[in-house]
Structure 1
Amino acid sequence: MSRTRTPVGRQVESGVIDLGDHQFESGKRIPNLEVAYEAYGEFTGQNAVLVCHGLTGSQHVAGYGDESGVSGQARAWWSDIVGPGKAIDTNEYYVVCVNVPGSCYGTSGPASEGPDGEPWGTDFPPVTVADWTRAQRRLLDSLGVGRLHAVVGGSVGGMNALDWAVRYPDDVARLVVVASAARLDPQCLGLDAVARRAITTDPNWNGGDYYGDDHPNPEQGLGLARQLGHLMYLSKDSMDRKFGRRSAGRGGRGDAYPADPAAVFFPYREVESYLDYQAEKFTDRFDANSYLYLTRAMDDFDLAEGYESDAAALAAFEGEALLVSFTGDWHFTTDQSESLAGAFRRVGIPVAHHVVESDHGHDAFLVEPEKVGPPLADFVAEGVAGRAVTDTATDGGEPDTDTDFAPVHSSLFSR
């Protein structure tokens, strides 16, 4: 067990805990599962809030993680929401964020050391969202945290939060699912499959064995996968506003993505420049095998697996739920959130579905904190009775919509 106090004002505790022998949902075991976490605020016994990160996020939900060299989305990725006096107020709540198994920010995954002293690579066991939840439960047990005041998650972190309601229904009082769904639709499954093939067809991937100074990383494949991901996170309107058809020169960036000779005749557009820049930044901070593992975990998640329906899966949960969706998000749509809200209602669980009018796409849950913060803060404090929470369960009709447009923000994916 390793815990350190750091100078970051909002960050109370950062560490890696060895949970020992761990069996994954696949049936495979590893002798020592190490889990990295950060915690903020003071634990009083009943004020713990677990925040579940997105696909390539980290445990640094409100801290900067300077000691681990992380950058981009992995650094303080929701610091507009988590912190003193913010929506999840660290003056009031003890907030814990855990890096999930299979990732590459301190928790055991393909890039971490295996029993032979070498990186696991693709010998690391397959991971599922259930594996994330079980590892979080074990980590919280080691911190002395039992029942949680709330579990909050965005994107695939929302799936992680839903799994808590199914797997540990007595351990959660309030559940917040932001920009997420009960499962991915076929379009997103297909796009994730193409992203993974971009990685595995990169010759440098080498069957997942590319670690060490003698092996180049599969940067081109990972970069292409990330570019596809960015296109999934943005909406048509936000891309038109951000890039249009504007030219950034001619010929393209021949270093990372060589262009064919005829390309010099055509414009290298701003949207291409943006995607190339994002790919370059991402390959500096993330592991290609981890991207394969985590996207498969997201694709595999199905709330109703093992049950007759989503409602049946949620039936044992006795808390309250808030769903937040965004009109411009085609990755996880408002219709998917409303369907999920219906599942909660069918088993009598108090639920609110708060719909935000936004043209930022899936990115909105990160870049419009002034829209996410009020309903989230009120729900965590007061449940569905919160004044900023839109509760469609009261009339059974269409969800009300927050129609105030937020000012334009730069996407966190572009930082």
Structure 2
Amino acid sequence: MTTKETVDLGEFQFESGETIPNLEIAYETYGDFTGDNAVLICHALTGSAHVARRPDAGTETAGQARAWWGDVVGPGKAIDTSEYFVVCANVPGSCYGTTGPSSTNPETGEPYGTDFPPVTIGDWTRAQRRLLDELGVGRIHAVVGGSVGGMNVLDWLRRFPDDVERAAGVATAARLDAQCLALDTIARRAITGDPNWNGGHYYGGPEPEEGLARARQIGHVMYLSKASMARKFGRRSAGREAVRDEPTDPAGAFFPYREVESYLDYQAEKFTDRFDANSYLYLTRAMDDFDLSAGYESDADALAAFEGELLLLSFTGDWHFTVEQAEAVAEAGRVADVDVAHHVVESDHGHDAFLVEPEKVGPPLSELLATGLEGRMISDTEPESDADESFAPVHTSLFSR
């Protein structure tokens, strides 16, 4: 049993203090609710509620051509929708059905544009809590999310610690580092520097597609690793059949159009067809602003009220959300006496690993939901001699059935 719905939560006050009269949340559910089997999945930056494949989805759902975690969530899969009641909600500020900058402001009859209130990850969490209330879900069996969705998970643990039994943060961190903040800044400047951006009020006219395209290209470079880019593209020419619309500059026609350029152009074109530039501004700012320790003395203090189990998954080739950052969250959990495990996956796919390697992501999530973390702190390999014994990389073989 699956549903695809939109619910009006009524008036909503954002953490900024600004209020909108109606917050509509687009969400999808999979499976049947039995009272104690709800699993909330938090999507990544430009994801939607369409987390799993649906028999009625056709070729496109919520602007996305395919389910973004369809190999992890579904009947008989790691997050088994024949056993769990899975809920995934599109976050406020997005453009996939939930109220955001492209939505109509009922007070003016025009799209909000940049008159939409600033959005935080805390706003996402509070909106999800209200949605679950509407669905009759109280305490949730687990909350799972990747990338900024993992930050959303951590926010659940500090904001509603009594409402969560188990949690998994995949390829995530307590906050972004300065390098990622800098790259996000450049991406946003690409959008706001586009002449068509018009202060965010471009609806009904030319859209800032060039700026959004450059922003997405920066994002894609962040999601890949050096090894994966070398393997995918190297320095190869894209070939004569792959010709860019026009050279970037007059001298550019003399030089080869490389495969890596062709890939970035293709990804940018696909993205500008499906996503809103203002939403990209709003959601990246929400991610950049998140700091687990905000309002607390430390990350450990922020997690101290959570009495459930927390699993962190990180990937060795991910420089966007690093292994070290995940371990810092795990260590904060240990200091706070949280039952926590850190599962390190050997991968050279970069940040995209949590999406493109379901065979490595699925098993630990399946075990977490079924049996919790018992025994998961033991590694099947010896840690490096200079490593802390409590941080032994845990390999997928431990989670094999």
- The TM-score, its normalising length taken from structure 1, stands at 0.90
Question: Which secondary structure state, in structure 1, belongs to the residue aligned with residue 371 of structure 2?
Answer: helix
Q: Once the 2 structures are TM-superposed, how far is the Cα of residue 13 of structure 1 from its aligned partner?
A: 0.7
Q: 2: distance between equivalents of 1:110 and 1:389?
A: 47
Partner residue in 1 for 2:125: 133
1:375–1:223 Cα change, 3 Å = same
Q: 2: distance between equivalents of 1:94 and 1:69?
A: 20
- Specify the code of the residue in structure 1 equivalent to 2:255: F
Among candidates 23, 34, 57, match of residue 13 of structure 2 = 23
- Specify the code of the residue in structure 2 equivalent to 1:381: A
* Matching of residues 92-103 of structure 1 within 5 Å: 92-103=83-94
1:133-192 per-residue CA deviation (whole Å, 9 max, x = no partner) reads: 000000010000000000000000000000000000000000100000000000000000
Q: 2: distance between equivalents of 1:15 and 1:179?
A: 28
- Specify the code of the residue in structure 1 equivalent to 2:103: S
CA contact (8 A) 2:15 2:119 kept: yes
- Number of aligned positions between the proteins: 388
Partner residue in 2 for 1:284: 273
Q: Once the 2 structures are TM-superposed, how far is the Cα of residue 389 of structure 1 from its aligned partner?
A: 8.3
Partner residue in 1 for 2:385: none
Partner residue in 2 for 1:343: 332
Q: 2: distance between equivalents of 1:58 and 1:286?
A: 11
Partner residue in 2 for 1:301: 290
Q: 1: distance between equivalents of 2:35 and 2:242?
A: 56
* Matching of residues 64-143 of structure 1 within 5 Å: 65-66=57-58, 69-72=61-64, 75-115=66-106, 116-143=108-135
Q: Once the 2 structures are TM-superposed, how far is the Cα of residue 251 of structure 1 from its aligned partner?
A: 12
Partner residue in 1 for 2:392: 399
Q: Once the 2 structures are TM-superposed, how far is the Cα of residue 329 of structure 1 from its aligned partner?
A: 0.2
Among candidates 52, 55, 59, match of residue 62 of structure 1 = 52
Partner residue in 2 for 1:259: 248
CA contact (8 A) 1:357 1:403 kept: no
Q: Once the 2 structures are TM-superposed, how far is the Cα of residue 402 of structure 1 from its aligned partner?
A: 2.3
1:225-262 per-residue CA deviation (whole Å, 9 max, x = no partner) reads: 0000000000000000000100014798553x642111
* Matching of residues 347-358 of structure 1 within 5 Å: 347-358=336-347
Q: 2: distance between equivalents of 1:313 and 1:389?
A: 26
Unaligned runs of 5+ in 2: 383-387
- Specify the code of the residue in structure 1 equivalent to 2:218: L
CA contact (8 A) 1:36 1:59 kept: yes
CA contact (8 A) 1:379 1:386 kept: no
Partner residue in 1 for 2:372: 383
Among candidates 133, 138, 143, match of residue 146 of structure 1 = 138
Q: Once the 2 structures are TM-superposed, how far is the Cα of residue 118 of structure 1 from its aligned partner?
A: 1.0
Among candidates 184, 191, 194, match of residue 199 of structure 1 = 191
1:361-402 per-residue CA deviation (whole Å, 9 max, x = no partner) reads: 00000011110111110011111126698699xx84332242
Among candidates 204, 207, 226, match of residue 216 of structure 2 = 226
Among candidates 172, 178, 181, match of residue 164 of structure 2 = 172
1:156–1:140 Cα change, 3 Å = same
Question: Which secondary structure state, in structure 1, belongs to the residue aligned with residue 142 of structure 2?
Answer: strand
Q: 1: distance between equivalents of 2:188 and 2:344?
A: 32
CA contact (8 A) 2:143 2:167 kept: yes
Q: 1: distance between equivalents of 2:378 and 2:160?
A: 25
1:295–1:239 Cα change, 3 Å = same
1:48 aligns with 2:38: yes
1:232–1:389 Cα change, 3 Å = farther
Q: 1: distance between equivalents of 2:260 and 2:348?
A: 17
Question: Which secondary structure state, in structure 2, belongs to the residue aligned with residue 13 of structure 1?
Answer: strand
Q: 1: distance between equivalents of 2:379 and 2:75?
A: 25
Q: 2: distance between equivalents of 1:251 and 1:76?
A: 30
Partner residue in 2 for 1:368: 357
Q: 2: distance between equivalents of 1:186 and 1:146?
A: 37
Q: 1: distance between equivalents of 2:102 and 2:10?
A: 18
Pairwise CA RMSD:
2.0
CA contact (8 A) 1:50 1:97 kept: yes
CA contact (8 A) 1:223 1:283 kept: yes
Q: 1: distance between equivalents of 2:313 and 2:379?
A: 9
CA contact (8 A) 2:292 2:299 kept: yes
CA contact (8 A) 2:341 2:377 kept: no
1:88-107 per-residue CA deviation (whole Å, 9 max, x = no partner) reads: 10011000000000000000
Q: Once the 2 structures are TM-superposed, how far is the Cα of residue 355 of structure 1 from its aligned partner?
A: 0.3
CA contact (8 A) 1:378 1:388 kept: no
1:258-298 per-residue CA deviation (whole Å, 9 max, x = no partner) reads: 42111111101000000000000000000000000000000
1:21–1:223 Cα change, 3 Å = same
Question: Which secondary structure state, in structure 1, belongs to the residue aligned with residue 248 of structure 2?
Answer: coil
Question: Which secondary structure state, in structure 1, belongs to the residue aligned with residue 196 of structure 2?
Answer: helix
1:286-327 per-residue CA deviation (whole Å, 9 max, x = no partner) reads: 000000000000000000000110000000001000000000
CA contact (8 A) 2:53 2:74 kept: no
